[in-house]
Structure 1
């Protein structure tokens, strides 16, 4: 059966002398793997459309076993992502995280929308580190983790001082602090940011600029949850950690009109 689907290339792996095996996350059918014959040849009509991060329409022939990519019509090649080291690093993290947490043909409309919004935001020059944080928080339910962020995870209270508990995977109010001796105290601003990352669509946030310390704090929280609850290991995360130890490689992002606090 020949299908025309909108999709985004998550990864493209050389296969043999001339072919590629591509993983595409499609809007209509979820994630799938397809053979792109001849795509390694520079003159191939599939060469450009099978590059990582490419958003386009794909003609994929399906049947038993792996599908075959017959044709591609690009919507956006994500040129900025491929030309900017920082953008490439964070976009690679986003697509690897989504790839690891989803199964073939497991159709989740919200995942495609999240992937599309994240890559387009990075490609348009928004802070890629902040965008990757949005993806990490929003992918937690796909990983089977459902943090309690609308109330106290122990008593259900919605008012008071709150802290984050890895034991409860969510917020604890000040009345319940004693239930977890290792909880992380948070400010009201941090609480609002966590809820924003988890619930608000990327395209509705705009050019939110976060201080480095805020991003590091938010990253520590969500990655500890992933480490303790999922056990997944990402190659792109190790590369990001290396890049983050050399911030002089990247230009400083400053926007005094929009700060997180």
Structure 2
């Protein structure tokens, strides 16, 4: 037992009692951690701002037997802009849910934390297309999770593929024309975008634009790969995929 300082982003909040809540934070050198915030839902609580979803905050945490309780909290970046635009809010919520649902408590994920902060910054501060940013995040997140599709050999038979025309999310890479029924057609634009994201890092991965057609193609590829390889289906993504959105 003791007190420690934790810095991280709030992924999710859950009501606890009449005025308190639990928050799930992706923290530096810690990974996902559940923190108890006593009285944080009160309008005048000193913990109110720092414990909101999207907030990147410093927390002073008391570690008890089987629980972590916040004694102090100060927001570093609130990403307030995520709450002022419906598109930004919905795609941002999708990113938070994806990370929260796929992260294991106590497993350090500083690469994912940095990726999440950079992506939210691009959406909130630079006003980049949130849909494109979410696709870029999804590709890089899959890479950090160990998914790296083979674009040179057929993922079904292993034969050399001279020109990629088909891709299988299930098999995890390009497929040859002989096994084209195992995959779906993929455009050169989608291949170039995917390879660019995989072979770059930092802010550079956001420095390109896609046609609407290629963006939709990559979005479907990312969604399928997340469901297959990460075994995750998200409520926020289902909402984004509704016809009226």
Q: TM-score, length-normalised on structure 1?
A: 0.84
1:252 — aligned with what? none
1:146 — aligned with what? 147
Q: Distance in 2 between matches of 1:217 and 1:24?
A: 32
Q: Distance in 2 between matches of 1:158 and 1:185?
A: 14
**How much has 1:167 moved relative to structure 2?**
4.2
For the Cα contact (< 8 Å) 1:9–1:25, is it kept in 2?
yes
For the Cα contact (< 8 Å) 1:9–1:22, is it kept in 2?
yes
Please give the root-mean-square deviation of Cα atoms over the aligned residues, in Å: 2.1
Q: Aligned residue pairs: how many?
A: 241
* CA spacing shift, 1:70–1:150, aligned 2, 3 Å: farther
1:171 — aligned with what? 174
Long gaps (5+) in structure 2: none
2:81 — aligned with what? 80
**How much has 1:133 moved relative to structure 2?**
0.8
* CA spacing shift, 1:158–1:2, aligned 2, 3 Å: farther
1:213 — aligned with what? 213
Q: Distance in 2 between matches of 1:91 and 1:141?
A: 20
For the Cα contact (< 8 Å) 2:28–2:113, is it kept in 1?
yes
For the Cα contact (< 8 Å) 1:149–1:195, is it kept in 2?
no
2:184 — aligned with what? 184
For the Cα contact (< 8 Å) 1:167–1:180, is it kept in 2?
no
SS, match of residue 60 in structure 1: strand
For the Cα contact (< 8 Å) 1:34–1:67, is it kept in 2?
yes
**How much has 1:180 moved relative to structure 2?**
4.2
Deviates more, 1:159-168 or 1:211-220: 159-168
The within-5 A match list for 1:102-251 is: 102-124=103-125, 125-141=127-143, 146-152=147-153, 153=155, 154-155=157-158, 157=160, 159-172=162-175, 176-201=176-201, 203-242=203-242, 245-246=243-244
1:60 — aligned with what? 61
* CA spacing shift, 1:171–1:69, aligned 2, 3 Å: same
Deviates more, 1:25-34 or 1:211-220: 211-220
SS, match of residue 2 in structure 1: strand
Listed one character per residue, the Cα deviations across residues 221-243 of structure 1 (whole Å, up to 9, x for unaligned) are: 1212223344322111122113x
Q: Distance in 2 between matches of 1:178 and 1:27?
A: 47
SS, match of residue 182 in structure 2: coil
SS, match of residue 139 in structure 1: helix
The yes-or-no answer on 1:31 pairing with 2:32 is yes
Long gaps (5+) in structure 1: 248-261
